[in-house]
Chain A
Amino acid sequence: MQYLISNNSHSLKYYDTHTSALISSKEALFPERIKAADLDSCLKNGLFTYRRANEIYLPVAGVIPIPSRSSWNYINGEFSYEKSLGTKKLNPLSSLKRIEDLAHKYLKLVDGKKIAIELSGGLDTALIIEILKLHGIKLLYVGFTSNRYEFRTERAIQNYYLENSYGHRMIDYEECPAFGSLTSTPLHPFPTADSLYHARHSIIIDAAKSLSTNILLNGNAGDSLLCHSFENVSSEVPRGYDQWSLTDTWTVDSIFEPRGISYLCPFAFEPIIRNMIGMRKGFPEDSMKLWARKKFSHILPSQLSNFAYKANHDCWVADGLREASDDIRKVVDTAFSVTKHCELNSASMIRTANNYFHAPEKVKHDFLLKLSFSTWVYSFVREGML
């Protein structure tokens, strides 16, 4: 059997393999279908996030996510990405001016409303801030900060912007450990690694609401557009750079939209993608984003145009995993009691969590995958649906 499944809408849908219908996130919650074999499907799917690579995926509990404006092949129980339904033509006249004009066009849509941005202290967010500042936008800032040694460069950039902010709410990373509140993960139709960080997004929503805004921008997708190689690109947006694959689809659908916040990623707006790739067409991989630092040096603070080092958040993850031991035990034991899958062993998972950064890559990968699966099962049990 072979089908082509298209989601023409601008929102995430799920394909129900039992009824052959596209359904919404709420309609796609099928706890009664969960079985041990679903973990095997997850293991085959790999570390699933909603920014999927172009590979083959298996349904879990009889559903598979179909991102907005995309078509998928469904052949003998397997899904593979077919094409984007959006405009794919690269802009041959791409330029910084064109990107600024696009920003102006989008800003008209939110004219007069308060806009906040997640202030990470990195290059991508700074680029968005500076382009919006060119249009006179009085941005509010929310985000995480830390006194940790390795965070000092990001902290310096954050302070640079906060000095002249129109309002901000910064939260200590230590108040929101990675993998926090695993037992409160919201109900969601498909196990995904994206769900493991739900708590940090909830805290950011509280921060945005405390500043009375419901529009929150983020600098996600900058890495994809500014680092990756576009040496062999034709005149179209290459596979893997569609709007849905550069956006935090799960987070928007499961965390932000239910709480009335528009969580927008300017780098993932379709015309911005087409222009940015158009500008970088022919350029090789650029992990330090030297192209962007030079191209935008006239608007960036000198700390970012003359500097290319990046803090990693390993400590945040390591500390978070250690603190999450009790939750890990609870969700994994619950998932085992439902599925009886022998791979779900909480003692072994906690050992990996405590030694995460010294574990082989395969062990880390499977750990995150099993934890994603377990929190997904646990959320149904917590809600009394299993």
Chain B
Amino acid sequence: MLALKAVRLPVQYDNYWWSISPITGSLIRHQHKPDFAHLKRLPENVSSALNICENPFNCNWDPSSIRPSLLPEQRIKLERMNSRIHLISNRRFWLSIMYASITTPLFNTSREAFAEIATLPEQIRARADHCFQRSLLVAKSAVSFRRNGVLLIGASLASAEMHSWIIESESQPDHEDRNWINFQPLLALTF
């Protein structure tokens, strides 16, 4: 049984309230504060991840890079999952989350997963454009994500740019992502 949870985190900016739809992934502008009952009691892992986002200095940060060694058949599997995620996520936001929530363990930690996924051709070609697919693939393939990980989707509200990243055990496991602190989390996903 899936333990998929999507938590909307509306914020106020420029006299409007903003949120991200968990169904379409669209950034939505509200005239009035959306009444999301769940906000009164956030899941503990989401609350902890938001605390790290709010206070990045508290984030456990390891500047060293790692490179896990995948077996050739595991690498093929990873590439296949990556292709599927790209195929689905471009048009079916929620379906791609559902697909990612069915775990296929290839890595022990999200940090290892990010390091390997960064070497996939799509990520090398246009890393900035594929943050959502990258995060989904990590969530799907890293054992630690299901235990402690939260996938966040946020926006820079003045420019309406969006970004996706993971917070796991009070760390941000994507070694190459320096940009995540610039985005305000609006949607949290846990599996």
Q: In the complex, A318 Cα to B158 Cα: how many Å?
A: 6
Residues of B within 8 A of A309 (CB): 56, 178-181
* B181 in contact with A318 (CB, 8 Å): no
Q: In the complex, A287 Cα to B158 Cα: how many Å?
A: 25
Most B CB atoms within 10 A — which of A287, A309, A314, A356? A309
Q: Which size class do A's interface residues fall under? A: 20 to 34
Residue of A with least CB distance to B59: A307
Residues of B within 8 A of A307 (CB): 56-57, 59, 61
Whether B15 is near chain A, meaning CB under 8 Å from some CB there, is no
* A357 in contact with B61 (CB, 8 Å): no
One of A288, A312, A318 near B182 (C-beta < 8 A): A312
* A311 in contact with B181 (CB, 8 Å): yes
Whether A386 is near chain B, meaning CB under 8 Å from some CB there, is no
Least CB distance, B159 to chain A, in whole angstroms = 4
Stretch at the interface among A146-154, A162-170, A184-192, A234-242: A146-154
* B161 in contact with A153 (CB, 8 Å): no
Q: In the complex, A185 Cα to B66 Cα: how many Å?
A: 49
- On whether A153 and B181 interact (CB within 8 A), knowing A315-B158, A315-B159, A319-B158, the answer reads yes
One of B61, B180, B184 near A149 (C-beta < 8 A): B184
Residues of B within 8 A of A358 (CB): 160
Whether B183 is near chain A, meaning CB under 8 Å from some CB there, is yes
Whether A345 is near chain B, meaning CB under 8 Å from some CB there, is no
Q: In the complex, A152 Cα to B178 Cα: how many Å?
A: 14
Residue of B with least CB distance to A151: B182
One of A150, A288, A312, A319 near B63 (C-beta < 8 A): A288
Most B CB atoms within 10 A — which of A310, A312, A358? A312
Residues of B8-65 contacting chain A, CB below 8 A: 11, 54-57, 59, 61, 63
One of A150, A288, A319, A356 near B178 (C-beta < 8 A): A288
* A311 in contact with B61 (CB, 8 Å): no
Name A's interface SS: helix
Residue of A with least CB distance to B54: A152
- On whether A287 and B178 interact (CB within 8 A), knowing A308-B61, A314-B159, A315-B156, the answer reads yes
Q: Which size class do B's interface residues fall under? A: 20 to 34
Residues of A within 8 A of B179 (CB): 309, 312
Q: In the complex, A311 Cα to B63 Cα: how many Å?
A: 18
Least CB distance, A212 to chain B, in whole angstroms = 34
Q: In the complex, A156 Cα to B55 Cα: how many Å?
A: 10
* B63 in contact with A318 (CB, 8 Å): no
Q: In the complex, A288 Cα to B175 Cα: how many Å?
A: 11
* B158 in contact with A153 (CB, 8 Å): no
Residue of A with least CB distance to B182: A150
Whether A303 is near chain B, meaning CB under 8 Å from some CB there, is yes
Q: In the complex, A356 Cα to B181 Cα: how many Å?
A: 21
- On whether A150 and B161 interact (CB within 8 A), knowing A306-B61, A308-B61, the answer reads no
- On whether A357 and B159 interact (CB within 8 A), knowing A303-B57, A312-B179, the answer reads yes
CB<8 Å pairs between A and B, sample of 17: A149-B11, A150-B156, A287-B178, A290-B63, A307-B57, A307-B61, A309-B180, A310-B178, A312-B179, A312-B182, A314-B158, A314-B161, A315-B158, A315-B159, A318-B159, A356-B159, A357-B160
Which residues of B approach A to under 8 Å, CB–CB? 11, 54-57, 59, 61, 63, 156-161, 178-184
Given contact pairs A303-B57, A314-B161, A315-B157, enumerate 18 new A-B contacts (beta carbons under 8 Å): A149-B11, A150-B184, A153-B181, A307-B56, A307-B57, A307-B59, A307-B61, A308-B178, A309-B178, A309-B179, A309-B180, A310-B178, A312-B179, A314-B156, A315-B156, A315-B158, A318-B158, A356-B159
Which residues of A approach B to under 8 Å, CB–CB? 149-150, 152-153, 156, 287-288, 290, 303, 306-312, 314-316, 318-319, 356-358
A-B pairs, top 3 by smallest CB distance, nearest first, are A315-B158, A150-B182, A357-B159
